[in-house]
Structure 1
Amino acid sequence: MKRINEKLIRVYTSILSIEEEALKKSQFNDLSIKEMHTIDAIGLHAQPTSSEVARRLRVTKGTLTVAVKNLVRKGYVERQQLDQDKRVVNLSLTRKGRLMYRAHQAFHQKMVAGFVDGFDADQTKLVERALDNLMHFLDENG
């Protein structure tokens, strides 16, 4: 158990470190990791409400509002208020935001492919089951 814990911590910190370094070297060097993950939570084609995105990120609506304000200013996100209810704000990505989203997804696809490289279908299912268990624990304790 101790070795698994150490490896999970190392994986988590390594992913964040690699993402940060890649951001600094990219055309998206004006973004923070949190902003990048906000773009990811907004998604490519859906137009989620601010409340939905805040729930996905596990942050308060106020925290998300600050992040979205910065992303709008930087040209990554657009806000649309509903005519029927001005309190509801839908979020969508601009062209620049969609480009960032795709770059982030490509990184994750390569990472996952490297993670399961050489695994057969049963081994991949076992990894998925272990990750499901971890997510269940995090959902209950987060």
Structure 2
Amino acid sequence: MEDAYMTINHVLVKLINEIWELEEKAIITDEFKDLTNNDMHVIEAIGLGEGKNMSSIARQLNITVGSLTTAMNSLVNKKYVERHRSEEDRRVVFVKLTSKGIKAYHHHEDYHRQMTQTILDKLDKKELPVLMKTLDALSDFFAGYSEKKEP
């Protein structure tokens, strides 16, 4: 059991680091060289559609609205995002991807699709439930750990 623990621990730590580094190399191409990995994740959180308010995006990313505002200012200046105030409540700010932002969103989404499809292509139908159970456990750990850290 100790060997399994050591192997799983090593693989998880290595994977987390590699995913972050490789994702940045894969998604920050010449076309999107003015973006960071964090920018791409903000773009992903905004998503497609008519826009979202800043509070819901900050909650989704588990960051403060102040931190999101800093990132959003940069994305607005780079023309990936546009913002507008709610007509009903002028204090509420909505953000929406521009056509340039939508292009970046699809570029990032394609990287995730390729990564996921590569895994699915290597599994048979019996292995998929085991992977799903494993990923659920990992997700539960991260969610529980994040909740413990909040004030």
CA distance in 2, matches of 1:129, 1:77: 37
Alignment of 1:63-78 (within 5 A): 63-78=67-82
Q: How far is the alpha carbon of 1:12 from its aligned partner?
A: 1.5
Report percent identity of matched pairs: 36
CA distance in 1, matches of 2:113, 2:6: 28
Q: Which residue does the alignment assign to 2:17?
A: 13
Give deviations 1:56-112, integer Å, cap 9, x for gaps.
Answer: 111111000000010000000111210111111111110010000101011111111
Give deviations 1:98-139, integer Å, cap 9, x for gaps.
Answer: 000101011111111112223122311221121111111211
CA RMSD of aligned residues (A): 1.4
Q: Which residue does the alignment assign to 2:94?
A: 90
- 1:133 matched to 2:137: yes
Alignment of 1:45-56 (within 5 A): 45-56=49-60
**63, 68, 86: which is aligned to 1:59?**
63
Q: Which residue does the alignment assign to 1:105?
A: 109
TM-score (norm 1): 0.93
Q: Which residue does the alignment assign to 1:81?
A: 85
Segment drifting more, 48-57 vs 16-25: 16-25
Structure 2 regions of 5+ residues with no counterpart? 147-151
Structure 1 regions of 5+ residues with no counterpart? none
Secondary structure of the residue aligned to 1:79 is: strand
- 1:34 matched to 2:20: no
CA distance in 1, matches of 2:48, 2:30: 20
CA distance in 2, matches of 1:20, 1:118: 24
Q: Which residue does the alignment assign to 1:123?
A: 127
Q: How far is the alpha carbon of 1:23 from its aligned partner?
A: 4.0
Residues 23 and 31, structure 1, Cα contact 8 Å, conserved in 2: no
**Corresponding pairs, count:** 142
